[in-house]
Structure 1
């Protein structure tokens, strides 16, 4: 296995990680902006008020996207890891 092949495998794994984490990060970003706007409009300056909504939304998004993430990991394992082990 050459260095270029190893770098390509690492690139594929990193992109898979980005695509698996993007829905949760995006949801946390949107909830953070909405709660921040709510706090700015109501002059509530409590720092812990963003934690519970973000946590709940991220758990919901994880629950909804867990099947997609499992399929992505399974596909990555089939197409990259097994080929690397077999040497093809």
Structure 2
């Protein structure tokens, strides 16, 4: 295995990680902004108000996008990682 091939697989692995984490991070960002805006408008400073809805939204999005995440990882490993391990 050459250095270029190793760097290419690492680059693609990082891109898969970004693609997989994007839905969860986007929902966390949007939920945090909405809850922060709600807290600023109502002057309610309850810590559970920020934590519980954000975690619930992230769990819901994770549950919906699990098949996409699994498919992306399986494709990455079957097309790139396993053939490199096998020497192909």
Matched positions, count: 88
Equivalent position of 1:53 in the other structure: 53
Equivalent position of 2:17 in the other structure: 17
* CA distance in structure 1 between the partners assigned to 2:26 and 2:63 by the alignment: 15
Equivalent position of 1:85 in the other structure: 85
Q: TM-score of the superposition, structure 2-length normalised?
A: 0.94
Q: TM-score of the superposition, structure 1-length normalised?
A: 0.94
Unmatched tracts of structure 1, length 5 or more: none
Equivalent position of 1:38 in the other structure: 38
3-state SS of paired residue (1:45) = coil
Residue 66 (1) aligns with residue 54 (2): no
Unmatched tracts of structure 2, length 5 or more: none
The runs of at least 4 consecutive aligned structure 1 residues that moved more than 6 Å come to: none
* CA distance in structure 2 between the partners assigned to 1:13 and 1:68 by the alignment: 15
Give the CA RMSD over aligned residues.
1.0
